[in-house]
Structure 1
């Protein structure tokens, strides 16, 4: 099981707050430009968080790899996850 850094968890909580704020904006009938701006900020935050988690996981996998085949598999799994997240 992975352990997630407190910074990553705080980042997720911030995005959660942004999403709640977006819902409130929508309930209040705010301008679509403002809503889209906030949604773009959340998407950017999600993308960055995915990249941080993937890079940390890849480092752990590579340091723990016992063979070049295991290293190749770790890199391929990370690439697959990155492609899937897009």
Structure 2
């Protein structure tokens, strides 16, 4: 359970950082900053959110695969779902 709380805190921190970056981009737009600078910041936000998604999916998958009462077919389905979540963009 402690590992789960630590993971949750890391994800929350990452999302809060992304939230701050989004506010920064809004300010950049108000200040008419260059298109290049805005896009660079938006790409950084996207990368951060993609990493958060990866952590969430990986942790959930790890928990599912650890369940002993789940059949091999159910585990295979969970793996397929996880891959689709990460690859879907």
TM (norm. structure 2) is: 0.85
Query: CA–CA distance in 1 between the matches of 2:40 and 2:80?
Result: 34
TM (norm. structure 1) is: 0.88
Aligned counterpart in structure 2 of residue 57 of structure 1, from 46, 49, 60: 60
RMSD across aligned positions (CA): 1.7
Please state if 1:75 is matched with 2:71: no
Please state if 1:21 is matched with 2:24: yes
How many residue pairs are counted as aligned between the two chains?
84
Query: CA–CA distance in 1 between the matches of 2:12 and 2:79?
Result: 24
Query: CA–CA distance in 1 between the matches of 2:75 and 2:51?
Result: 24
Say which SS state the counterpart of residue 5 (structure 1) adopts.
helix
Aligned counterpart in structure 2 of residue 37 of structure 1, from 30, 37, 40: 40
Query: CA–CA distance in 2 between the matches of 1:70 and 1:56?
Result: 17
| Cα deviation 1:28-78 (Å, max 9, x = unaligned) | 101111111100100110111111111111101111152101111111111
> What displacement does 1:83 show?
2.7
> Structure 1: which 5+ residue stretches go unaligned?
none
Query: CA–CA distance in 1 between the matches of 2:66 and 2:37?
Result: 44
